Structures are given as C-alpha cells and as structure tokens.
Amino acid sequence: MTNAKKPIPDFKNRQEMAEWFDAHDMTEYDFKPSRVRFAKNLSVGLNIRLDPDSYARLRTVASKKGIGPTTLARAWINEHLSATR
C-alpha cells in the first residue's frame, strides 16, 4: 500500500469545484501551498462606474488570473501610476 496522494483536478468554474470538494475526502488528496498576499492598510475607497460589457470583461480577465475584479482593477491602477511617475 502506498501513501501517495492523488492530485486535485482542474475545474472549469467555482460551481464545479464546490461540488467536487463536497463529494470527496480531502485526506486522500495532495494540497500544495499557495502564496497569499494581503493588501496593505487600505483606508480610502474609490467607487467607479463601468458599463456592463466593460465590467464583464474585467471579471473575465480577473477570473482567469484567479483574483477578484476589484483586486485586478487596483493592480492596473497601481501599475499605471507607477509607469507615469
């Protein structure tokens, strides 16, 4: 008998992932460490309005990167501000 653990499969979306995790025993699967970054003391909010198509595109790109649309928008703003110094 081997102690090798199974890899966790790739998922098409969060719903598929949630259903898979609900149906499997996690002790049989191999978990890899993830890097996590936390925002530094964000204290000022900025509300912006986007047309539905732009917001949908932002969400799609963010999802492909595994982050939320707000995080992606903040990263893009910071990149632009750094480039214009």
- Residues 13-65: tens digit of each pLDDT: 989 999 998 898 888 887 777 787 777 777 788 899 999 999 999 999 999 99
Residue 10 lies in a domain: no
CA–CA dist 78, 69 (Å, integer): 14
The reply to whether 12 falls in a domain is: no
Helices and strands: H and E segment counts in the chain: 3, 2
Q: Which domain covers residue 82, as residue numbers?
A: 46-85
- Kindly state the average pLDDT of the residues 72-78: 93
In a domain, 50, yes or no: yes
- Asked, for residue 70, whether it belongs to a domain, the answer is yes
Domain count, the chain: 1
Is residue 60 classed as helix, strand or coil in its secondary structure?
helix
Tell whether pTM > 0.85.
no
Asked, for residue 24, whether it belongs to a domain, the answer is no
Domain membership flag for residue 61:
yes
